[in-house]
């Protein structure tokens, strides 16, 4: 192991000295923050450190929904959170997507405006009525300028081959991206903007009490004028606030001939979500059946949740069809009692942007923009 103090003059002066902004975490938030900082500071030295050889949290592991609010999710939120906060979050997610599209060309990450459907299972009490749809259409029109975003779609099972679904609500503005391509596109943009990403360096502790911030790593100390913490589900070590790691599991099937599933789908108030990826089905969720077990920073899949996901494929999503599982994985999100992210200055040289829940594709760039605006 080569420590920083053993590096050459060339290495020290090119990579580690006179850092203006050091960002911890190379997910959507870390990379967006760096790009917005570059727009403000043409000549600044901006460095991102990432503990993994790839981003190792949620940004390269998510389902790729560009979602900002399904009717059952909004209904649930309005029951538990005050109305203003619910619509502020909706608005931030919607404008967050616009910020993302401003940072990277949507073609590079295969954005598809494929719509979403919120599915209501047969035999389950449906809380959504026409009056509620009219209310969310009015509110969402005020925010987006688009009318009638939400409509009931009774034909969903016929169109996509589902079983045990009584009805659905379509959101015509939601879509999907290729998650891997988004992370690659942001990475490319970061490099082109002369921002350094150093993989395999974990921030262990920080002293930000004086003018220069000192960050301890296993290779030695890094110094920077300003620091931004973008570690999401792994933020507990940096702030004593309401944030917990939340593991989320996903699977992807084999390619399925004549697959009818096309688009993005939310099921059981968003506890489950699925979409097609070409001719495969990606399905995730199920944290609600083992909340304690899934409140962890450890990656991994469990039989309990994978079995539940497979059960949904069998009975609802791909009934009477042969399929197998080609991939399964997990990612770690940051969640709290409330759905709003924590975005703030910790003192005059350190900012933090974390707790993006299951909304980071939509919210991430917006959080990055706000973090950069503090400096």
Binding ligand FAD (rule: CB under 6 A), the pick from 28, 119, 149, 342 is: 28
To ligand FAD, the closest distance from the beta carbon of 186 in angstroms equals 10
51 binds ligand FAD (CB under 6 A): yes
Chain-centroid distance of CA 293 in Å reads 21
For ligand FAD, the binding residue among 70, 168, 232, 366 (CB under 6 A) is: 232
CA 161 – CA 200 distance, rounded (Å)? 45
* Residues ≥6 apart with Cβ < 8 Å to 158: none
Q: Does 305 bind ligand FAD (CB under 6 A)?
A: no
Of residues 65 and 160, the one with the C-beta less far from ligand FAD: 65
DSSP notation for 319-375: TT----EEEEEEEEEEE-SSSS-EEEEEETTEEEEE--GGGHHHHHHHHHHHHHHT-
Element (H, E) at 117: strand 116-121
Q: How far apart are CA 335 and CA 47, in angstroms?
A: 26
Distance from C-alpha of 139 to C-alpha of 268, rounded to nearest angstrom: 23
Residue whose CB is less far from ligand FAD, 139 or 339: 339
Q: How far apart are CA 253 and CA 274, in angstroms?
A: 11
| 55 interacts with ligand FAD by CB under 6 A | yes
Closest approach of ligand FAD to the CB of residue 322, in Å: 25
CA distance 321 to 328: 20
Residues 237-296 touching ligand FAD, rule: CB under 6 A, are 248, 250, 284
How far apart are alpha carbons 233 and 351 in whole angstroms? 16
Counting residues that bind ligand FAD (by CB under 6 A) gives: 41
Comparing CB distances to ligand FAD, the nearer of 277 and 318 is 277
Q: Does 48 bind ligand FAD (CB under 6 A)?
A: no
26 binds ligand FAD per the rule CB under 6 A: yes
Using CA atoms, how far apart are residues 236 and 231, in angstroms rounded to an integer?
9
Question: Judged by CB under 6 A, which of 34, 245, 358, 369 binds ligand FAD?
Answer: 358
**Could you say which residues in the range 199-228 bind ligand FAD, by CB under 6 A?**
202-203
Task: Select 69 or 364, whichever has its Cβ closest to ligand FAD.
Answer: 364
Give the span between the Cα atoms of 168 and 299, in whole angstroms.
Answer: 33
Nearer to ligand FAD, 122 or 295 (CB): 295
Q: Which is nearer to ligand FAD, 19 or 232 (CB)?
A: 232
**Residues in contact with ligand FAD, shown as a per-residue x/- string from 317 to 346 under the rule CB under 6 A:** --------------x-x-------------
Mapping DSSP to helix (H, G, I), strand (E, B) and coil, where does residue 208 land? coil
69 binds ligand FAD (CB under 6 A): no
Site residues (vs ligand FAD, CB under 6 A): 24-30, 49-52, 55-59, 61-65, 67, 202-203, 230-234, 248, 250, 284, 331, 333, 356, 358-362, 364
């Amino acid at each position: 192991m080569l420590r920083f103090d053993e590096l050459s003059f060339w290495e020290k002066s090119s990579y580690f000295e006179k850092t203006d902004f050091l960002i911890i975490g190379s997910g959507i938030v870390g990379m967006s923050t760096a790009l917005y900082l570059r727009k403000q500071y043409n000549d600044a030295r901006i460095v991102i450190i990432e503990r993994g050889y790839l981003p190792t949290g949620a940004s390269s592991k998510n389902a790729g929904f560009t979602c900002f609010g399904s009717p059952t999710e909004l209904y649930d939120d309005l029951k538990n959170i005050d109305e203003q906060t619910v619509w502020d979050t909706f608005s931030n997610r919607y404008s967050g997507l616009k910020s993302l599209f401003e940072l990277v060309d949507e073609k590079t990450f295969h954005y598809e405006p494929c719509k979403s459907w919120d599915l209501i299972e047969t035999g389950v009490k449906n809380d959504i009525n026409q009056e509620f749809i009219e209310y969310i259409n009015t509110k969402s029109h005020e925010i987006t300028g688009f009318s009638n975003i939400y409509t009931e779609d009774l034909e969903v099972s016929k169109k996509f081959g589902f079983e045990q679904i009584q009805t659905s609500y379509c959101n015509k503005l939601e879509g999907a991206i290729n998650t891997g391509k988004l992370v690659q596109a942001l990475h490319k943009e970061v490099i082109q903007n002369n921002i350094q990403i150093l993989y395999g360096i974990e921030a262990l502790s920080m002293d930000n009490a004086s003018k220069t911030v000192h960050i301890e790593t296993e290779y030695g100390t890094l110094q920077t004028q300003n620091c931004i913490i973008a570690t999401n589900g792994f933020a507990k070590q940096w702030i004593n606030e309401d944030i917990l790691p939340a593991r989320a599991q996903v699977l992807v099937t084999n390619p399925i001939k004549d697959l009818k599933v096309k688009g993005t789908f939310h099921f059981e108030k968003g506890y489950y979500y699925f979409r097609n990826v070409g001719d495969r089905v990606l399905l995730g969720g199920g944290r609600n059946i083992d909340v304690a077990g899934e409140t962890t920073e450890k990656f991994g899949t469990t039989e309990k949740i994978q079995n539940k996901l497979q059960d949904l494929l069998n009975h609802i999503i791909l009934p009477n069809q042969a399929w197998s599982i080609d991939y399964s994985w997990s990612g770690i999100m940051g969640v709290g009692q409330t759905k709003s992210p924590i975005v703030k200055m910790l003192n005059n040289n350190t900012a933090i942007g974390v707790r993006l829940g299951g909304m980071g594709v939509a919210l991430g760039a917006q959080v990055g923009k706000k973090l950069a605006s503090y400096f």
